[in-house]
Structure 1
Amino acid sequence: MDKLKMHSPDLSQDNIAKIRELFPGCVTEARDETTGAVHLAVDFDQLRQELSDHIVDGPQERYRLDWPGKKNALLLANAPLSKTLLPHREESLNFDETRNLLVSGDNLEALKLLRETFLGEVKAIYIDPPYNTGSDFIYNDDFSETTEGYLIASRQLSEDGSRLVANPESNGRFHSDWLTMMYSRLKLARNLLADDGVIFASISDEESANMKRLLDEVFGEDNFIDTIVVEMSTTSGPKTVNAQQGTIVKNAEFVHVFRKTAAFDKIRHTPLFDGVVSFDTHYTAWMNDDGTLSTLAQKMMEDYKVGADIEKFGFSSRGSFSVNNMDRLLSVSDSAKEFIESNLDRIARIDRPPVSASKQSTEVGCWIAFEADHRTYYLTTLSNGTLQALMPLSLNYRMSDDYKPRFGRTVIRGDLWKGFYQDMGNVAKEGGIAFANGKKPVRLIKQLLKWANNTKDGIVLDFFAGSGTTAHAVMEANADDGQNRKFILVQLDEVPDQKSTAAKEGFATIADLSAERIRRSGKKILEGECHPDWNRDVGFRVLKVDTSNMKDVYYRPDELQQSDLLDMVDNVKEGRTAEDLLFQVLVDWGVDLTLPIRRETVQGKTVFFVDDNALVACFDRGITEDLVKELAGHEPLRVVFRDNGFVSDAVKINVEQIFRQLSPTTDVKSI
């Protein structure tokens, strides 16, 4: 039986293999001077020549983003990792049923461990990374070791408690360190996105330009969609004083939007609408059923109830009413509100006609319907003979996406998203968790997902999870529209500042705070009105990045020493459970980490059935041929045993033969 690797793939070697398929003459073997290990390497001079139509003498200048540490970041992103994700049932919610994940640990390592399982499966990524303001923290990635050294260390060393470091502006590598941190993580995240996937990256002006350039490089400039400007504050309070002194105060943050490929454009994206409080006084025309035109003011005066209110509140002048007084009338007259809302398709404004209507004509003072561009236009001719279109008020009278959604007049939103400052007064309390470190409003993420319209039953990833706002937004969105989006959150198990509210409330880590926020917000959502089609999944599996379940001898059997003989008898670390082993197998084999898991006793042994027959695993000792035959009878797609778990070498040798006879499509492995 072949053994599972039990570590993430070496992406550099994978990429070299792809180059070798296209340009075999550009790839050769090289020997590491330190370890003596032989590996594939690229002859870059030869590759440059292969890709050029002229003689290449040396490196050429070109437009690109460069900084100290870029090559190291790429090296670290591609290096394999021999860690695992350990399940923590006691910290999870609905562990056996949920399809959501909360991963605690370094997001660089987590992204590597999630890669095989969710490669090309994530529909949307939202991240709110450190803004690099000079007073926040960034990840302390270590580039001091070679790839081989990193591989060795990453399976033996535990967390050292210093994964975050301050990045003051006085640091000579202030921008470089931030770019290095983000580059490796974005490279890994792109692999997880589906072809029709999208990434949203929140940022402030400190690193907005650099974030845009990073995303250009990782996702390609052609895949840039837009930068959304989000109004997060107003010029009020202390900002007013600064503005009066001539300072241009900050009111906005940014969300850079990139697609994975052009497949994203094939989806119909949902338009978003802002509410407009005041009445648009361009709406003055009234479309009569007989094809003639009147004025809105005239019809309102003719209505018994509305006309009475116009007179009562003093909005009549010489027996007529001006729409310039409409806002004042609507603020005091329920009859006027009802009149407007009941006649949305009759009230219209004058607009430009479509180009396809250029040869149409109507009588002056009349209107006709005209079909063009898959919609109906209404045309009229002015007294000067100019053809115009009538745009009914019903076209922009709908539910808005405002802070307090209401049914009324709206305008379609562009890349300037106003009014989100209204959410900021309550954002600290959203989810029932106080967290001062830059929480984003739930509404912002919900509307990004709503606009993308590509996440139905799909996965939403946030690998800078913070307090868990993205999970909250996903659950609320599901409750609203009945879709069954799933979330994957990754949050470093950093210890909160002891002076913070989080520490005072007893949270040992920010990941613990995220988990509690999901519990509270999920409970509250279920207590409200929920769409009947939603599966009501507000649970999550907690998985924690940890050292491998396997002892070092598992990875380096060629370096076996006399003292390692006992480890060969049992190559699993003490204290690791069968379920721990199962999840490392799922990670290594790329099996969905959210699939249902059933534990059964079969012939006295504990057997795991993942999604019935997606994977069957038994890590007990004393496995007999009869047990192997019974498991083969389930015809699983994959089966895994402990390498030293069989009652005899003969049974171990016969395992593959048994499956070839009873379940020939099963992939058989051991650990």
Structure 2
Amino acid sequence: MTRPPDRTARNVALLAELFPACVTEVRSPDGTPRTAIDLDLLRTELGEYLVEGPRERFHLDWPGKRDALLAANRPAVRALRPDRAVSEDFDRTRNLFIEGDNLDALRLLQETYLSKVKVIYIDPPYNTGSDRFVYPDRFRERADDYRTRAGLVGNLATDGRFHSNWLSMMYQRLTLARTLLRPDGVLLISINDVEQANLRRICDEIFGEANFLTQFVWLNEGNVDQQSAIKGVHEYVLAYARDLTRLGRPAIIDPNIEEESKLFNERIENSITKNGPANPESTITLPRGFPAWFDNGYIAPRDDKYPKILDPITVENGRTTQQTRLKSGWSSRNLLELFIANGCTPIQDAKGRTTTFALTDRGAIYYAKHRPPDAGHVVSVLRNMGTTKQNSAMLAGWGIEFSYPKPVFLIEFLIRTFTTANDDALVLDFFAGSATTAHAVFRANAADGGNRRFVLVQYPEPYPGPGFDTIADLARERIRRSGAEVKAQRAWAGDTGFRSLRLDLPSLKDARREPHEIRQKDLEHDADRALPGRTGEDLLFDVLIRFGVDPAEPIDRHHIAGHAAFTAGDLLACLDTHPPYTPELFAEAARRRPARMVLRDAGFTGDELRINAERLLGPGIDLRVL
């Protein structure tokens, strides 16, 4: 089984599709041929649109930027190992909690969640100039170093690379995160004043300025009575779309809007008579049969007030009986003409509202707009969303101490702004912290009956207080407590479980060898590629990721012809080697007709069954052997 391709290889494939004339072939250091891009030909294709060398151009640069991008493009070298002991409803839940470095996790999830995530919300470590900074990205390190390295390193303000370190850390993660978003997906990042300007610049580069959505200002109004020259009471949430043209309108109304607001009216009525420099007089001709808001009547011509009536109007049974001309300035002339051209039947305005027009008994033309049930209204200033102090107190009530957690209502509001109940949206947070995002997903689903699910990633940073060994342990406990509370308070029976997975070395040894490296005595040693101590379920998650199967797919454990087996989606895996495989196993698998089947080479006791395995399964089943 091959490793998942790295992002560089994927980018080469995309260039080859766009510029096939630029594709060439070179030999790797080991002598094998591989596809490459002829840069000279690519320059010719791009012509004047290519910028090279020292020419002036608008961009953000810093020491380490190139290394950060190279690190993001490296292939995944980790695997996911299941941890049932700390999971909740492991087999059935669609939620994931991944313990480990989020850069490794983002690399690993490229194949599985490519273009599938609806919302990414992150609250990364702010660049405060303290001696505690997260994710010491080493571009080369041994596996043992990875497992034993500390979770925190310093980024003091006295460091000459104070901003560069933080930007490199964010740049590579956001580069990978963008590819996970759906075409209509949204990235949301909490940030303060220190790096807000730089963060916008790198997001403009990664996502494109055209996909900048807004910069929310969150009023965090706790402790405002402390004396200060200028007391900061706000932070930001940057919002970028993967493709702004694909993003739908929010389906939620800001909770601070008064209940009496017209935004809550299902039907909006108003006159389209509007005179002024921007709306000069023009004549509109209403056809016979134009609707009226009265059954029968007569309106005489007039020239003394707007709208001026040039022809007499007679209405019978709620419709005009002859063609009529009116003169005025009009606020919605184009929409009215579309209504007339549509046979005076309802049309949709630019906001998706069903719109009709009609005459009143005073000769005015009114529109009536019916607000769709999913209409929303979101403002850029987020007020009354809770404070970190309130949320710290809530966690303390569960025996969890955590400094500066984001308010759960703030994250719930953002999630409901950019997802809908029937969207089956996937929400990703790769700086999980105390797992506020998981709590917010539960609340959002309970509020509207949705089926949103989450993927959270948290490094096992040592926890300084009592009760937990790591922040990851604390986050898992928060998910359990919040899930139970939401179910109890909302009478909701949705999914509050999570499948806990740990980043570790792959369960399969890399069997690739150069010809000169192969020795006879090693062949028997390499017959079984599984590392010592790895279970069939460990191997299963290696298989899921390598095949691009969602690691949150429900798993059924069962037996086929006496062999332990797993079914996940359209995949059937028999990954234990005892008892050895038998013809009956293949006969039963053929009856079940999975799309894919995975076995271990060590499960075959002879060559005959191995050679005939595909024939016994029959056509249409993709067989892979580890």
**TM-score category, normalised to shorter length:** 0.7 to 0.9
Say if 1:388 and 1:59 are closer, same or farther in 2 by CA, change over 3 A: same
Distance 1:250 1:23 in 2: 51
Distance 1:540 1:487 in 2: 9
> In structure 2, which of residues 376, 386, 400 is the aligned counterpart of residue 434 of structure 1?
400
Hey, what does 2:234 align to over in structure 1?
Answer: 252
Hey, what does 2:17 align to over in structure 1?
Answer: 21
> Are the equivalent residues in 1 in contact too, given 2:539–2:575 (CA < 8 A)?
no
> In structure 1, which of residues 171, 180, 184 is the aligned counterpart of residue 168 of structure 2?
180
Hey, what does 2:283 align to over in structure 1?
Answer: none
Residues 580-591 of structure 1 correspond to what in structure 2 (within 5 A)?
Answer: 580-591=538-549
Instruction: Give 3-state SS (helix, strand or coil) of 2:89's partner.
Output: coil
- Match status 1:616 vs 2:573: yes
- Match status 1:606 vs 2:564: yes
> Are the equivalent residues in 1 in contact too, given 2:388–2:404 (CA < 8 A)?
no
Distance 2:613 2:348 in 1: 69
Say if 1:538 and 1:19 are closer, same or farther in 2 by CA, change over 3 A: same
> Are the equivalent residues in 1 in contact too, given 2:43–2:50 (CA < 8 A)?
no
User: How many residues were matched structurally?
Assistant: 536
- Match status 1:657 vs 2:622: no
Distance 1:372 1:652 in 2: 63
Distance 1:626 1:372 in 2: 61
> Are the equivalent residues in 1 in contact too, given 2:565–2:572 (CA < 8 A)?
no
Distance 2:443 2:78 in 1: 34
> Are the equivalent residues in 2 in contact too, given 1:479–1:525 (CA < 8 A)?
yes
Hey, what does 1:89 align to over in structure 2?
Answer: 84
Say if 1:56 and 1:190 are closer, same or farther in 2 by CA, change over 3 A: closer
Distance 1:76 1:55 in 2: 25
Distance 2:551 2:49 in 1: 50
Paired amino acid for 1:647: T
Say if 1:481 and 1:57 are closer, same or farther in 2 by CA, change over 3 A: closer
Which stretches of structure 1, 4 residues or more, deviate above 6 A after TM superposition?
54-57, 276-280, 375-380, 387-391, 555-558
Q: Which moved more, 1:481-490 or 1:431-440?
A: 431-440
Q: Under a length normalisation based on structure 1, what TM-score does the superposition of the two structures give?
A: 0.73
Paired amino acid for 1:12: T
- Match status 1:63 vs 2:39: no
Q: Which moved more, 1:248-257 or 1:461-470?
A: 248-257
For residues 214-272 of structure 1, the C-alpha deviation after alignment (integer angstroms, 9 at most, x for no partner) is: 1111111111110000001267332xx22xxxx2221110001111113543x231243
Say if 1:650 and 1:204 are closer, same or farther in 2 by CA, change over 3 A: same
> Are the equivalent residues in 1 in contact too, given 2:93–2:497 (CA < 8 A)?
yes
Instruction: Give 3-state SS (helix, strand or coil) of 1:275's partner.
Output: coil
Residues 296-311 of structure 1 correspond to what in structure 2 (within 5 A)?
Answer: none
Shift of 1:424: 3.2
> Are the equivalent residues in 1 in contact too, given 2:356–2:367 (CA < 8 A)?
no
Q: Under a length normalisation based on structure 2, what TM-score does the superposition of the two structures give?
A: 0.78
> Are the equivalent residues in 2 in contact too, given 1:553–1:564 (CA < 8 A)?
no
Instruction: Give 3-state SS (helix, strand or coil) of 2:404's partner.
Output: coil
> In structure 2, which of residues 93, 99, 115 is the aligned counterpart of residue 104 of structure 1?
99
> Are the equivalent residues in 1 in contact too, given 2:563–2:574 (CA < 8 A)?
no
Hey, what does 2:439 align to over in structure 1?
Answer: 472
- Match status 1:632 vs 2:593: no
Say if 1:551 and 1:54 are closer, same or farther in 2 by CA, change over 3 A: closer
Which consecutive residues of structure 2, in runs of 5 or more, have no partner in the other structure? 262-328, 337-346
> In structure 2, which of residues 225, 230, 250 is the aligned counterpart of residue 269 of structure 1?
250
Say if 1:563 and 1:172 are closer, same or farther in 2 by CA, change over 3 A: farther
> Are the equivalent residues in 2 in contact too, given 1:92–1:539 (CA < 8 A)?
yes
Say if 1:492 and 1:8 are closer, same or farther in 2 by CA, change over 3 A: farther
> Are the equivalent residues in 2 in contact too, given 1:158–1:547 (CA < 8 A)?
no
Which consecutive residues of structure 1, in runs of 5 or more, have no partner in the other structure? 281-352, 361-370, 381-386, 396-400, 402-411, 498-502
Q: Which moved more, 1:251-260 or 1:73-82?
A: 73-82
> Are the equivalent residues in 2 in contact too, given 1:274–1:413 (CA < 8 A)?
no
Q: Which has the higher helix share?
A: 1
Hey, what does 2:410 align to over in structure 1?
Answer: 444
Say if 1:37 and 1:464 are closer, same or farther in 2 by CA, change over 3 A: farther
- Match status 1:574 vs 2:542: no
* Identity within the alignment, %: 42
Q: Which moved more, 1:160-169 or 1:191-200?
A: 160-169
Instruction: Give 3-state SS (helix, strand or coil) of 2:612's partner.
Output: helix
For residues 180-235 of structure 1, the C-alpha deviation after alignment (integer angstroms, 9 at most, x for no partner) is: 11111111111111111111111011111111111111111111110000001267
Distance 2:237 2:92 in 1: 34
Distance 2:156 2:593 in 1: 58
For residues 19-43 of structure 1, the C-alpha deviation after alignment (integer angstroms, 9 at most, x for no partner) is: 223334534445566x777654434
Instruction: Give 3-state SS (helix, strand or coil) of 2:624's partner.
Output: strand
